[in-house]
């Protein structure tokens, strides 16, 4: 996939709720909620609504050898177009980047290095911008493959998706990356129950912020390097009906949302 280099993926602990664990990068200050970066899901309405932010740019900053597979980024665009109203489209922009970081990463490292390298503010004119970094080395918990650290920023780690592949590459590392990337994007969309409470009972009771449905890309087991042994057959790459219903309800206002940096 990337030679010897590997990927890892995790979920994130909400910035203001460090009790949650997984692929949410915990913050060290409650005040982060009120600052510009926001929390994962903090730009959900800005993404779903098309009245003010008419275009979504996904800035992908990657270190040498860690550029994501085209199948992953193509799938990401397809999934975002499915749920986000962006009349001027969803665009991927790639940038080869040296983050100048040695050793494992913490959530705060991701936050700091990502914001140092952002080409554009998350909200500028009519463009909403997400940033996904693909750095060398691993997360501090090397079982984690990816992490969402604020309202617009994700990291996916290159030294741990290859190791998550199953025996005989079923699923392959590329397939794992496909799922992980969409999964993390789902967290920036607020899934599952990060900035709202779903009327559907589809959050896993032992893995907050994740689905209990193994056919959803938000399924809890996708956060683990052992995803290849947890899930048999094809890995999920799509939001299930409960996920889609949640996003529809958030956009319509039928489901109340919190911690939003922008509202229509």
In tens digits, the chain (264 residues) has pLDDT values of: 554 333 333 333 333 333 334 576 654 444 444 447 999 999 999 999 999 999 999 999 999 999 999 999 999 999 999 999 999 999 999 999 999 999 999 999 999 999 999 999 999 999 999 999 999 998 999 888 899 999 999 999 877 777 766 666 678 889 889 999 999 999 999 999 999 999 999 999 999 999 999 999 999 888 766 666 555 568 899 999 999 999 999 999 999 999 999 999
Element (H, E) at 176: helix 173-188
Residue the block writes with tokens 């994007």: 185
Determine the Cα–Cα distance for residues 160 and 147; give it in Å rounded to an integer.
13
Give the chain's length. Answer: 264
Interacting residues of 17 by C-beta distance below 8 A, sequence separation 6+: none
What are the chain's domains? 30-252 (3.40.390.10)
Q: What is the CA radius of gyration of the chain?
A: 16
Separation between Cα atoms, residue 91 and residue 81, nearest integer Å? 10
What single DSSP character describes residue 137? S
The position carrying tokens 């390097």 is: 225
Please tell me what DSSP assigns to residue 108. H
H/E segment holding residue 113: helix 107-117
Contact assessment for residue 171 and residue 228, using Cβ atoms and an 8 Å cutoff: yes
Handedness of CA 236, 222, 219, 246 (dihedral sign): negative
- In sequence order, the 6+-apart residues with CB closer than 8 A to the CB of 162 are 1, 2, 5, 6, 7, 173
């Amino acid at each position: 996939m990337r030679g010897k280099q590997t990927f890892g993926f995790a979920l994130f602990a909400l910035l203001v709720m460090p009790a949650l664990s997984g692929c949410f990068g915990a913050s060290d200050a409650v005040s982060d909620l009120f600052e510009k970066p926001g929390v994962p899901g903090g730009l959900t309405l800005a993404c779903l609504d098309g009245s003010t932010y008419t275009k979504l740019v996904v800035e992908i900053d990657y270190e040498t050898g860690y550029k994501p597979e085209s199948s992953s980024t193509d799938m990401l665009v397809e999934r975002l177009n499915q749920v986000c109203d962006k009349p001027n489209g969803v665009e991927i922009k790639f940038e080869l980047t040296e983050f100048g970081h040695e050793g494992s990463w913490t959530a705060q490292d991701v936050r700091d290095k990502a914001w140092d390298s952002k080409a554009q503010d998350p909200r500028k004119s009519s463009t909403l911008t997400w940033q996904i970094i693909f750095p060398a080395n691993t997360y501090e918990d090397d079982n984690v493959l990816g992490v969402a650290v604020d309202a617009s920023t994700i990291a996916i780690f290159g030294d741990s998706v290859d190791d998550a592949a199953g025996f005989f590459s079923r699923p392959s590392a590329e397939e794992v990356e496909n799922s992980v990337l969409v999964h993390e994007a789902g967290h920036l969309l607020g899934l599952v129950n990060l900035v709202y409470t779903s009327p559907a009972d589809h959050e896993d009771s032992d893995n907050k912020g994740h689905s209990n449905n193994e056919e959803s890309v938000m399924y809890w087991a996708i956060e683990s390097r052992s995803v290849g042994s947890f899930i048999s057959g094809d890995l999920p790459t799509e939001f299930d009906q409960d996920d889609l219903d949640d996003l529809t309800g958030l956009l319509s206002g039928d489901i109340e949302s919190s911690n939003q940096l922008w509202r229509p």
